[in-house]
Amino acid sequence: MLAAACAGNDTAATTAPSAPRTTETFTGTTPVAGSAFNTFTVSQAGQVDVTLMAAAPPSTIVMGIALGEPADAACVLFAGASVSTPAGSSPQLSGMVSPGTLCVEVHDLGNQTAPVAYTVTVTHP
């Protein structure tokens, strides 16, 4: 489709350089019926990918992960930026973000019987 739109144009197409991406790893513990969050800084607009790498006990527990902005010692979640997921090696939550300080939250979905230790990675521009 793009080639058809450029037919007859002898000018070389240019692609905007992609922003360098950083991966940050956070660990913590989510209390029963609670949540925990970690903050990170995005230097320019681009895609953010969140991966719940590990959560236990038990190792099969499904947790909530979400993105938001820190405010008043809490992570104020963005609308539509939350998912329920077991731990895995591929991003479970992705989206476009603007520059600024953001937070990633891990929370109990009501299925915890004890505190859950987690490891989450955030890849961002």
- Tens of pLDDT along 55-114? 999 999 999 999 999 999 999 999 999 999 999 999 999 999 999 999 999 999 999 999
Position with higher pLDDT, 14 vs 7: 14
Torsion of CA 54, 69, 39, 114, to 10 degrees: -40
> In the prediction, which pLDDT does 16 show?
52
Rounded to the nearest integer, the mean pLDDT of the chain is: 89
Is there a domain that residue 120 lies in?
yes
Is there a domain that residue 103 lies in?
yes
Q: What is the CATH number of the domain that holds 46?
A: 2.60.120
- Domain range enclosing 108: 34-124
Is there a domain that residue 5 lies in?
no
The region, left, alpha or beta by phi > 0 then psi within -120 to 50, assigned to residue 43 is: alpha
Position with higher pLDDT, 62 vs 19: 62
Query: 2: which residues sit within 8 A by CB, 6+ positions away?
Result: none
Res. 14: pLDDT tops 90: no
**Cβ atoms of residues 64 and 106 within 8 Å:** yes
> In the prediction, which pLDDT does 100 show?
97
- For the chain, what is the domain count? 1
